[in-house]
Structure 1
Amino acid sequence: MPNKYSLLIAQALITLTMAFSMSGIMGFIALGPTPEWLASWPKSFIIAWPIAFCLTLPVGRIAFAISGRLTAAAK
């Protein structure tokens, strides 16, 4: 298990890339390849990233617990 600092950095990087890509993809689906999409993407990302990071803290613990149980059951 990684130390708490490594886990925090990993969560920051994972949520950064996911918020960036998902806000861009979902905006593209909603607006298409338009100037409005490009203009709205940064704002969507700035809103999405802190939300994703805050949610990953409790959800990450739950996900690790579930994955531990699933992999222990598979052995």
Structure 2
Amino acid sequence: MTKFTVILAQVFISAMMAFLMTGIFTAFPMGFAPGWVGAWLTRFITAWPIAFVLSLGVGPLAFALAQRCTRR
């Protein structure tokens, strides 16, 4: 994989994970009450850049661990 492909994948992965997790963790305390979508989107906008930066650090470690675990 090229470096561009890995970084682009991390953009997609971090966006999807932040979107789903903030949706779930916003719905737990609020339910689907009025204002839920706005709170969710605010939390998503905050979480996505953090998730992306963290994925840049954790991603290489995860790939290394996966390769180590799958060696025969």
- In structure 2, runs of 5+ residues without a counterpart are none
Q: Please report the RMSD computed on the Cα atoms of aligned residues, expressed in angstroms.
A: 0.8
Which aligned segments of 4 or more residues in structure 1 are displaced greater than 4 angstroms? none
What residue is the counterpart of 2:2 in the other structure? 3
Matches within 5 A, 1:50-69: 50-69=49-68
What is the distance in 2 between the residues matched to 1:46 and 1:27? 13
- 1:40 equivalenced with 2:39 (yes/no): yes
Q: What TM-score, normalized to structure 2?
A: 0.94
% identical aligned pairs: 43
Q: What TM-score, normalized to structure 1?
A: 0.90
Q: CA deviation at 1:38?
A: 1.6
Greater shift in the superposed pair: 29-38 or 46-55: 29-38
Aligned residue pair count: 72
